[in-house]
Structure 1
Amino acid sequence: MTRLLPVLLLAALAALPLALGTEPYLLNALITTGILTIGAMSLNLLLGYTGQLSLGHIAFFGIGAYVSALTSLGFDVEIGFGYRVAHEPWPAATGFLLAVAAAGACGWLIGRLSFRVRGAYFVIVTISFAEVVRLVALNWVELTQGPLALTGIPAFTFGLPGLGSWTLRTKLQNYYLVLGVGTLCYALIARMVRSRFGRAMRGLKENEPLALSVGINATRTLTVAAVVSAAMAGAAGSLYAHYLRIIDPDVFLFATTVTMVIMVVGGGKGTLMGPVVGGLIFGLLPVALRPVMAPEAQWIVYGIVLILILFLMPRGIVPGAAALLARGRAPRAGNTILKSRPAVQR
């Protein structure tokens, strides 16, 4: 039954636009929530399965957004000593692949530098990296347009020989694109955590000295996890850039990382469905409250809901719900055993 839940949720999400209609406001909320959920899933791979908290995870998201946008728009910049680099616009799909590769490469760099020192040092390195990247995006005006923002980013276009091409201009098309990328990321994470590599990640999280004693290479394992996590965040950033078609340095806001952490912790870190459930709840809750409450009251309710969830289900929604279901089945199983015993003859 547990394995059917992701399939049922995917079917429900695929049918959701048909049930709600193509209302632009609702579709926009679902698309942005889906993009943040992909980012939360990527963060969960580090936080939930290796125990490493990255508070600069938004850096990989922003790198993916800028790389994909600049690849699609083209640029002509001077890099110093009289040298200029000119790039002609490439298809948005190529920009997506380059965004994944660039974010993954940055994840490898940060992993190699910081996983030799753990705990608070890793958190500091990731926060510092995110701030450095934000300052580059803000001040390298010739390349990124700085606070003026990159505009006119083209939408995704896909084509097959002999069948023509399709440009994803509508919100409904972008919704299914985000759903498809999110499904691929979920499948990849599920494959990883159920493999030998996933057991190595959990071993390092639960008992690192024991994991090292049985031959697990901690630095290599954590670096590979960081690369995959950063690449997925870069994919989410690319989707974000080509959906909104405008980005500025605010894409690196620390508040977005905090939102991802809330989605992971509230949904249940270290579980496959946790970031998905947490993403849907905490992504759509502000949208549901917006028509009936002032902005200040929305954030108060948002905080109260988070506190109640963590108070009633300290491990998150998914592990808490699973524990409640298991507790509900236990008495029935006990009663069945008692009823099946023959009566004692006196």
Structure 2
Amino acid sequence: MSRYFPPVLLVVLLALPLFMNDPYWMNALIAGGIFTIGAISLNLLLGYTGQLSLGHIAFFGIGAYASALTTLGFDIGLFGDFRIVVGRGQPLVGFFVAVIVAGLCGYVVGRLSFRVRGSYFVIVTIAFAEVVRLVALNWIELTQGPLALTNIPNMRLGFPGLGEITLRTKVENYYLMLAVATIAYLVVARMVASRFGRAMRGLKENEPLALSVGVNATRTLTIAATVSAAIAGAAGSLYAHYFRIIDPDVFLFAYTVTMVIMVVSGGKGTLAGPVIGGLIFGTLPVILRPIMAPEAQWIVYGAILILILFLMPRGIAPYVDDWFASRKRRSAVVAKEAEARS
């Protein structure tokens, strides 16, 4: 995409609440934006290393639970009389705990599973997500199991000399989501543009050649998995503090599928792809809900996805890039012919 696309889109998104005050739409944009952050994190693995993680929602859920439990506090018994007691904490501390815990889990999973590739890695990630879901469902003393963690505090931001601001309104939470999404985008963009990004792309395009020039495959993929998981954990923290309730359903496989759809439809391996896919498939259900029955919504949802992938197999962002490049080439040819005639 054009280098002007990200700043222009950011300006539009910053100005959006000034023209749209409908709480229904603001809620849809916040929820869609949170999952777009998850899609940005997944794109780092799927788009730039070629590793498909179908258990990516596990890191999202781990971040949500880590942030909620840090904020609410907990008291659990381990190994007989030994107990772990954590008092109520600040939501902002919970956010950073979510990023760190999810990142550490991503490191462990990457370190263990990147010894295998392809379908084996996919199976490992699915199994990890299912194990985490079962832990959240059955460790009732810690997670409340199916009863859910409730009354999670809203996010609070502290500023030196200005005190704390509690983000209660949808507009405030929208701008928080947008700030985290922008940081996630910039982190991924910085990684992709670096020498590390070239190593990731090299492993994706031709792993034997990348290994022959000294790229450490396990180290590179593990770092990518760690950063990807940390960003997903940040998205999970936003989810917990915005909706203020989480249960084991946060680990549903459908949420991973949603992220994959956002990445693939927008254009995997591009910075703009997950953002475009997130804007489309994050708001599409909200657009369809008032005008058709639930069964018809899913039919239209699937039809639009199939149509995008049929007409633009590489995704929307690469298609737009190719279209602009072809127009530029035609303009150059026309200008050259006009110069030759003159």
Q: Which residue of 2 aligns with 1:11?
A: 11
1:137 aligned to 2:142? no
Aligned residue type for 1:39: G
Taking the aligned partners of 2:162 and 2:239, their CA distance within structure 1 comes to 27
Taking the aligned partners of 1:337 and 1:164, their CA distance within structure 2 comes to 63
Mean Cα deviation higher: 191-200 or 318-327: 318-327
Aligned residue type for 1:120: S
Q: Which residue of 2 aligns with 1:217?
A: 216
Taking the aligned partners of 1:332 and 1:92, their CA distance within structure 2 comes to 54
Taking the aligned partners of 2:162 and 2:13, their CA distance within structure 1 comes to 28
Aligned residue type for 1:6: P
Mark the runs of 5 or more structure 1 residues left unpaired by the alignment: none
Q: Aligned to 2:83, what secondary structure does the other structure show?
A: strand
Taking the aligned partners of 1:47 and 1:342, their CA distance within structure 2 comes to 49
CA shift at 1:298, angstroms?
A: 0.4
Give the alignment of 1:48-63 within 5 angstroms. Answer: 48-63=47-62
Aligned residue type for 2:332: A
Q: Aligned to 2:307, what secondary structure does the other structure show?
A: helix
Taking the aligned partners of 2:141 and 2:52, their CA distance within structure 1 comes to 34
CA shift at 1:306, angstroms?
A: 0.4
CA shift at 1:66, angstroms?
A: 0.1
Aligned residue type for 1:101: I
Taking the aligned partners of 1:106 and 1:66, their CA distance within structure 2 comes to 13
Taking the aligned partners of 2:235 and 2:41, their CA distance within structure 1 comes to 9
- Calculate the TM-score normalised by the size of structure 1: 0.97
Q: Aligned to 2:98, what secondary structure does the other structure show?
A: helix
Aligned residue type for 1:321: V
Aligned residue type for 1:329: K
CA shift at 1:293, angstroms?
A: 0.6
Q: Which residue of 2 aligns with 1:89?
A: 88
Q: Which residue of 1 aligns with 2:109?
A: 110
Aligned residue type for 2:95: F
Q: Which residue of 1 aligns with 2:226?
A: 227
Mark the runs of 5 or more structure 2 residues left unpaired by the alignment: none
Q: Percent identity?
A: 70
Taking the aligned partners of 1:50 and 1:162, their CA distance within structure 2 comes to 44
Kindly tell me the number of residue pairs found equivalent between the two proteins: 342
Taking the aligned partners of 1:113 and 1:79, their CA distance within structure 2 comes to 26
Contact 2:64 2:237 in 1 (8 A): yes
Q: Which residue of 2 aligns with 1:322?
A: 321
Taking the aligned partners of 2:111 and 2:172, their CA distance within structure 1 comes to 38
Aligned residue type for 1:2: S
Q: Aligned to 1:152, what secondary structure does the other structure show?
A: coil
CA shift at 1:342, angstroms?
A: 4.6
Give the alignment of 1:1-346 within 5 angstroms. Answer: 2-21=2-21, 23-342=22-341
Aligned residue type for 1:234: G
Taking the aligned partners of 1:160 and 1:123, their CA distance within structure 2 comes to 43
Mean Cα deviation higher: 325-334 or 270-279: 325-334
Taking the aligned partners of 2:34 and 2:156, their CA distance within structure 1 comes to 19
Aligned residue type for 2:147: L
Taking the aligned partners of 1:245 and 1:342, their CA distance within structure 2 comes to 69
Taking the aligned partners of 1:169 and 1:342, their CA distance within structure 2 comes to 66
Deviations along 1:261-295, one digit per CA (max 9) or x if unpaired, are: 00000000000000000000011011001110100
Contact 2:71 2:90 in 1 (8 A): yes
Q: Aligned to 2:51, what secondary structure does the other structure show?
A: coil
Mean Cα deviation higher: 327-336 or 74-83: 327-336
CA shift at 1:210, angstroms?
A: 0.3
CA shift at 1:226, angstroms?
A: 0.2
Q: Aligned to 1:150, what secondary structure does the other structure show?
A: coil
CA shift at 1:161, angstroms?
A: 3.1
CA shift at 1:159, angstroms?
A: 1.9
Question: Over the residues paired in the alignment, what is the CA RMSD in angstroms?
Answer: 0.9
Aligned residue type for 2:138: N
- Give the 4+ runs in structure 1 shifted more than 3 A: none
Aligned residue type for 1:239: L
CA shift at 1:162, angstroms?
A: 2.4
Deviations along 1:22-43, one digit per CA (max 9) or x if unpaired, are: x111110000000000000000
Aligned residue type for 1:81: G
Aligned residue type for 1:66: Y
CA shift at 1:331, angstroms?
A: 2.1
Mean Cα deviation higher: 75-84 or 279-288: 75-84
Distance 1:80 1:327, change over 3 A: same
Contact 2:2 2:321 in 1 (8 A): no
